Structure 1
Amino acid sequence: MSHLDAAPPNTHAGGNDDALETKGANPMVAPYHSGDVTDERIDMTAYENSVPRWKRIYQNSFTQMVLLSIQAFCGPAMADAIAGLGGGGLATPQTSNIAVAINYAMLALVCLCGGPIVNKLGTKWALVIGAMSFPIRGSSYYVNSKFGVQWYLILGGFFTGIGSGAWYVAESGSIMSLAPSGSRGKYLAFWIVARNLGQLVGGAINLSKNHKKGAVGGVSPDTYVAFLIIECMALPFAFLISPLDRVVRSDGTRILMSEKLSTKQEFKRIRFTMTSKLIVLSALWAIWSFFYSGTWSTYLGTYFSVRARALSSLISPFFCIVGCFGLGFILDMKNMSQRRRAQIGLFTVVILNLGVYIWSIVMQVRFNEHKPGKIDWDDSLYAKSFLPYFFVQTTGPLSQSYMYWLLSSFATDAQSNVRNGAAFRCLEAVGQAISYGMNTQIKTSPLIGFCVTFGLMGAALYPMLVLVNQTPDRIPADVIAEEQEAAEGKGVGRTVVDADTKGA
């Protein structure tokens, strides 16, 4: 960790602990003091005797992850389901690609400044703002499909990008902070699965409304009404989110919080975070990780019938659920060091994506030679032309889940997780904006998009190898806490040992 300036100052990983403290002190907490540092741990017996059961359940880290996942189900998952229709389900993908490109451009801008914004607002209110913007997407697609009003679709992309940016930054910081050290892979898998369950529901809606053979053009406008209703449901769950300083993890630990900084200081941290080795080395990976979405949306809209596109949005998430829990199992294995798990996880993700990209490029070359027309699900060509799309809906999310796990291996408090998550999400959004913008100009063949995506993965691999090979064998916060306790010669409360790294 000493080789990476990954975490900002005032965090354990940053090496300046003078301001580090745990907010929201609780009489049931047994604090450990080392100089000006307070590392608080819950006395679980006293906590259970003094705090009502409903409140313990509400403040539990898994409950908070469930509330976040429900919002992901209602918001980003519905957006993914619309994207899964190919070109947003519209008759031609170009207008949708323009709107989505604008959406991600604004999302990238908000994410760039998102760390300071979310750390000042708090995760709860950033999530509320984001949840309020979700219904704009469904309503804009409905208005465009029903009345042909394209300006609202594009304007909606602008405002949804702003709201979603705030939501994504708060979400990324939360999902990297909530999980107990030995369960980060499983927590991230649960979050990804919730998003894919949302796509399953969205896919069922798509298919129920657009299952008739021979339909041409865009999907039924009623499809978007169902999405709009689900998107509206995210807001009440955003209000239920607990501030991170009140959350108690399932293993009895609390989330470390640095002292609050001024707005000027927070914005100064943007430069520090964006130029840290952690973000610089992962930048190309971040740009690549979602780059595939624009090209695959165009591919689906160009070559598949309405009902085949509807079916794709239903069945595409199935394998992702299995894959994400499989990766989570690898990343949480207790008989290997954290670095070794990071290396195995990286090669797993890369090899799976490599196979999908080779397959997709081969299929697209064949399509360029022999135009297939609109492929329906009962055509002989359907299986081999659809399966690359089916698998990329698993390998793509795996790359994102893996990266959030890796980021959380370096940062040690909620604020630095927010900053690092915001920086990574900003770069992801830049990649998505470029991808969809590029595909607005691709009228006949997504081959260029496939090749660019493949090339980006190759370019991202070496910096990621450098980063992964410098992954600490244990989470730095746990090591430092143990060293401080040993130096003081006392261990008040619970000593937290990283269950991830036993046997490292």
Structure 2
Amino acid sequence: MGMKTQGTEEASGLEDGGVVNFQSKGVRYNSPVAQVVLVGLVCFCCPGMFNALSGMGGGGQVDHTVANNANTALYTTFAVFGILGGGIYNVLGPHLTLFAGCSTYVIYVGSFLYYNHQKDQTFAVIAGAILGVGAGLLWAGQGAIMTSYPPFGRKGTYISVFWTVFNFGGVIGGLVPFVLNYHRTSPSVNDGTYIAFMSFMSLGALLTLTILPPNKVVREDGSRLEFVKYSNPSKEAKEILKLFLNWKMLMIVPAAWASNFFYSYQFNNVNGLLFNLRTRGLNNVFYWGAQMLGSVGIGCLLDFSFRSRRTRGFVGVGIVAVMAAAVWAGGLAKQLQYSLDNKPELLDFKDGKRFMGPFHSTSAT
């Protein structure tokens, strides 16, 4: 995505002439791991909190129609700007791209705060479409950084570090509605919940300004990245179109589809239908916490297990496929017990055995 690695002989210091002391202990601010953690913190505050809010079911509202319509608009524009985002990142660079992307998350949550007082879903749907644009920019920037900054042979570890920090946002985001709505009997979250999410997201947008441009990042071996800015947007558009002729890129499409299609079902028709408000927040804590553990495990497997990268890849895919099939089998068994026309009594985390079965199915996913 417009980046390449310079030889070590060209990387004895920073661009301004300063020399990097590679023997010093601690983590340098301009090291890849520090920048990956910063990107993780940005995603902790923005998509991490978005995930926590979405995980509540219906965006924290009793009527899921608004969130469903907003998400339809969101993923429509996301599908377009997920493709265009890489070219935009190459033209604008990390600061503008990531800042613009993160700012749209605040607008989205603000639309649900508005809906708490004015039952008009127009703003939420428009905000969803705007967020789709922003999410495309943010995740394109994140992908460019995650695939180019880590040293060879440690990409799995760096991605697991990012994923752990990022999903910790979902954990904290789950605690927010759990605590703020612990004694609330209404099925919709209060204003304070939305304001807390917006505060985190605003902080995430500001954190994007602390991320260094690629040519300032220096790896431990002294190599550094040079950012390649293409001549103009039309050149970027041509490069994007070429991706549709790249069979390796097209092979990623099924995996990309499989990684996201289930969220609306899990959040709205499982967590949103089976559990009361405070328990939905608590479920989020364990749901995103489980993703943290899973990312660490798969990261270690992909970097440190078998000698062959091909073998590590096949084993990793196999483990994920088997676990996913097992979880969906358990989910199907529960789904056969209820429907939208035959909704069960809402469960609370204090309900003991009645709660544990659906809870395990939800958090294991």
TM-score by length of 1: 0.66
Shift of 1:259: 6.3
- Is residue 146–residue 221 contact of structure 1 (8 Å, CA) maintained in 2? no
Find the aligned partners of 1:332 and 1:383 in 2 and give their Cα distance: 35
Q: For residues 177 and 89 of structure 1, do their structure 2 counterparts lie closer, same or farther at Cα, with a shift above 3 Å needed?
A: same
Q: Distance in 2 between matches of 1:198 and 1:172?
A: 18
Q: Which runs of 5+ in 1 are unaligned?
A: 1-7, 12-19, 23-28, 32-39, 393-504
* 8 Å contact kept, 1:42–1:254: no
Amino acid of the residue matched to residue 97 of structure 1? N
Structure 1 residues 138 and 183 mapped into 2: Cα distance closer, same or farther (>3 Å)? same
Question: How has the CA–CA distance of structure 1 residues 251 and 87 changed in structure 2, closer, same or farther, with 3 Å as cutoff?
Answer: farther
The alignment partner of 1:59 has SS state of: coil
Aligned-pair CA distance for 1:294 = 0.8
- Alignment CA distance shift 1:30-1:340 (3 Å): closer
Indicate yes or no: 2:146 matched with 1:167.
no
For 1:371 and 1:335, how far apart are their aligned partners in 2? 47
Q: What residue is the counterpart of 2:215 in the other structure?
A: 245
Matched, 1:333 2:299: no
CA shift for structure 1 position 64: 0.9
Structure 2 partner of 1:389: 362
Q: What amino acid sits opposite 1:388 in the alignment? A: S
Structure 2 counterpart of 1:129, one-letter code: A
Q: Distance in 2 between matches of 1:115 and 1:318?
A: 29
Task: Give the residue type in structure 1 aligned to 2:206.
Answer: P
The correspondence of residues 385-424 of structure 1 with structure 2, limited to 5 A, is 385-392=358-365
Tell me if the contact between 1:92 and 1:301 (Cα under 8 Å) persists in the aligned partners: no
Equivalent in 92, 107, 120 of residue 136 of structure 1 = 107
Measured at CA, do residues 150 and 370 of structure 1 come closer, stay the same or move farther in structure 2, by a change above 3 Å?
closer
Alpha carbons 2:73, 2:129 under 8 Å: kept: yes
**3-state SS in 1 of match to 2:153:** helix
For structure 1, which segment, 244-253 or 222-231, has the greater mean C-alpha deviation from structure 2 after superposition? 244-253
Larger Rg: 1
- 2:19 corresponds, among 47, 56, 59, to 47
Find the aligned partners of 1:113 and 1:87 in 2 and give their Cα distance: 28
Q: Determine the C-alpha separation between the residues in 1 that align with 2:325 and 2:306.
A: 28
CA distance in 1, matches of 2:101, 2:122: 22
Cα distance, 1:67–1:151 mapped onto 2, change above 3 Å: same
| TM-fit CA distance, 1:169 | 0.8
Q: Does 1:367 align with 2:326?
A: no
Are the aligned partners of 1:62 and 1:250 in contact in 2 as well (CA < 8 Å)? no
Shift in Å, 1:207: 0.7
Q: Which residue of 1 aligns with 2:147?
A: 176
1:272 is aligned to 2:242: yes
Question: Which residue is 2:350 aligned to?
Answer: 378
Alignment RMSD: 2.5
Shift, 1:83, TM fit: 0.8
Change (3 A) 1:57 1:303: same
Q: How does 1:39-438 map to 2 (within 5 A)?
A: 40-42=10-12, 47-48=19-20, 57-212=28-183, 215-255=185-225, 257-258=227-228, 260-299=230-269, 300-333=271-304, 335-368=306-339, 371-379=343-351, 380-392=353-365
Q: Which runs of 5+ in 2 are unaligned?
A: none
Q: Is the 8 A contact 2:273 2:343 kept in 1?
A: no
Note the alpha carbon deviations across 1:399-422, whole angstroms, 9 max, x for none.
xxxxxxxxxxxxxxxxxxxxxxxx
How far apart are the structure 2 equivalents of 1:21 and 1:205?
42
Tell me how far 1:381 sits from its aligned partner: 2.1
User: Does structure 2 conserve the Cα–Cα contact (< 8 Å) formed by 1:131 and 1:235?
Assistant: yes
What displacement does 1:249 show? 1.9
Alpha-carbon spacing, 1:302–1:335, altered in 2? closer, same or farther (3 Å): closer
What count of residue pairs does the alignment treat as equivalent?
357
Secondary structure of the corresponding residue to residue 122 of structure 1: helix
Percent pairwise identity: 24
SS in 1 for 2:117: helix
- Contact kept? 1:207, 1:314, Cα under 8 Å: no
**1:109 CA drift (Å):** 1.3
Judge conservation of contact 2:8–2:224 (CA < 8 Å) in 1. Answer: no
1:248 deviates by 0.9
Give, in whole Å, the separation in 2 of the partners of 1:325 and 1:30: 30
TM-score, L = length of structure 2:
0.90
Q: 1:375 is aligned with what amino acid?
A: L
